[in-house]
Amino acid sequence: MNSIRILEGGPLATVQDRGRFGFRDMGVPVSGAMDQQAFMVGNLLVGNGLGAASIEITLGGFKAEFLGEACFVVTGSDQAPRLNQAPIENWKCHFAGRGDILSLGYARSGLRSYLALSGGVQVPVIMVSRSTYLRGAFGGFEGRALKEEDILCLGDTYDDPILVFPSGLIPPYSDEPTLRVIRGPQDDHVTAEGMEEFLSGAFEVTTRADRMGIGLSGPLIELRKGADIISDGTCTGAVQVHGNGQLTILGADCQTVGGYVKIATVISTDLPLLGQVSAGVKVRFEEIALLEARELYMRNQFQLRSLYERNRRAG
């Protein structure tokens, strides 16, 4: 069976897929790639189904050896990838042979890159997903971050790679991103001034940022009553206000229920931008309507499918 050997795991590299759906009622977080767009486009380019497992590489510093022939692509944050020392392009398919070495430097911008491999990473499926959930120590490769000497098996090649550059499908990454949000579920807990502050201010990502949540510091958001609610369901992108008026945006590994007020939710189209923010980055928020958000979502889904179908027909 085809495989790769990890030579360096770097600060944090984990196996991720679209996420673990259907177990929320049992308290199991969704997990999955923090930048789903980079993740899905990567899979399409190497000829995988949209949900094949890939490697999410945080910050960079990753190195792996191919133990057989494979097609691969690195998407998301630009971490200066090299194949046998020669720089290679992000978002473009490359071919590797036995003994070839892929190495990543460190992120020049953004935070997470995705290594998609033809056939997908084969790890045991736990609760219908291959995503790693670090806190629960399950999923992915032995429920943990990848490290030196781990050998990851690859599945059988599914389809031919797509050799075009997916220009329309690359998220508009920025070092000062504006995240579009939909109000709610508890926007009625914030004062008019608090909402104004939220939608006009700049917020800096703190060092308390990981796959569970992204802490922000900035203008204090004023609430009508306390920050505590009777715990209810949470999701990736929910903007929580804490007792001290500061914000946390929930990430893919967030717990399934939470007892803090959630004043708004980042739209799914902008979650890839959220997946790329690191400490020190300034973010702003812009309110949009559900209808608008839905149109953006549909357009993107359509384009992903259309890229796939066009290239299938051409091939």
Q: Contact positions toward other proteins, by CB under 8 A?
A: 21-28, 30, 126-127, 135-138, 181-186, 230-235, 237-238, 255-257, 262, 265-269, 290, 293-294, 297-298, 301
Task: Name which of 178 and 301 has its Cβ closer to other proteins.
Answer: 301
Indicate the residue among 119 and 139 with the shorter CB distance to other proteins: 139
For residues 280 and 39, the answer to whether their CB atoms sit within 8 Å is no
Q: Are 255 and 26 in contact (CB under 8 A)?
A: no
Cβ atoms within 10 Å, residue 59: 20
State which residue, 276 or 300, has the beta carbon closest to other proteins: 300
Q: Is the link from the previous residue into 185 a cis peptide, with omega within 30 of 0?
A: yes
Q: Which is nearer to other proteins, 58 or 186 (CB)?
A: 186
What the block records as the tokens of 314 is 């051409």
Residue closer to other proteins by CB (options 28, 104) is 28
Supply the minimum distance, in Å, between the C-beta of residue 171 and other proteins.
Answer: 16
Dihedral angle sign, alpha carbons of residues 14, 19, 20, 24: positive
Cβ contact 63:4 at 8 Å: no
Closer residue to other proteins in complex, CB, 48/269? 269
> CB-wise, 151 or 257, nearer to other proteins?
257
For the chain, report the end-to-end CA distance as a whole number of angstroms.
26
- How many angstroms from the chain centroid is the CA of residue 21? 15
Tokens found for residue 253: 């590994």
By CB atoms closer than 10 A (0-12, 13-18, 19+), residue 256 is middle
- Give the other-Cβ count within 10 Å of 151's Cβ: 12
Q: How far is the CB of 146 from other proteins (least distance, A)?
A: 19
State the amino acid at position 16 in one-letter form: Q
Q: Nearest 5°: phi and psi at 80?
A: 50, 60
